[in-house]
Amino acid sequence: MKKLISVLCALTLVSAVAIAQPNNKKKGADQWREKVRAEQVAFITNELNLTEAEAQAFWPVYNDVQNKRREAFKASGEAFKALSEGIDGADVNKLLDQYINAKKEAEKLESESIARFKKVLPVEKVAKLVLAEEKFRHQQISRLGQGGHPKGPGNKPGFGQRPQQQ
């Protein structure tokens, strides 16, 4: 019962934050991102069956890891973009090294994250966390394939369709 109340409180808080955001073009995307994050919190809470003490220790660590994952993903994406735009330039080796280093940092972060989670959760729940994150990711990919994006199905050319054979 306490777990349900904590999940409902988290969902209410996220909803309140999303509603209070100023009107701009990013509002819809931000609300969608917050909704997905709230769903992820509820999903992980359910999958791990965290005790109250475990939840209090786990969520600050998890949120910190998620922030670092976002930063690593952004750095990797920026390095990839720089590489793709500069492939004809003289600094290709430098750009390639930046991209590889960004990928290595992301892998290092994942190893460090597991070690951090093991400090606050039993190893069985850490394993469940890894599985739950992957399960949630697949669930979201499946949802997108069924038109669950805020823009809806068909708003991207060719989305969900196979290319026509010539």
Per DSSP, the residues of 83-117 read: HHHSTTSTTHHHHHHHHHHHHHHHHHHHHHHHHHH
| Residue segments in the chain with a per-residue pLDDT below the cut of 50 | 1, 4-5, 7-19, 21, 152-163, 166
- Note the pLDDT of residue 124: 96
- Note the pLDDT of residue 97: 87
Give domain status of residue 66, yes or no. Answer: yes
Q: Is 128 helix (H, G, I), strand (E, B) or coil?
A: helix
Q: Which residue has the tokens 């590489």?
A: 83
Give domain status of residue 71, yes or no. Answer: yes
Whether 1 contacts 51, CB under 8 Å: no
Give domain status of residue 143, yes or no. Answer: no
pTM: 0.67
Give domain status of residue 55, yes or no. Answer: yes
What is the count of structural domains for the chain? 1
- Note the pLDDT of residue 157: 45
CA-derived radius of gyration, the chain: 19
Domain assignment of residue 60, given as a range? 51-120
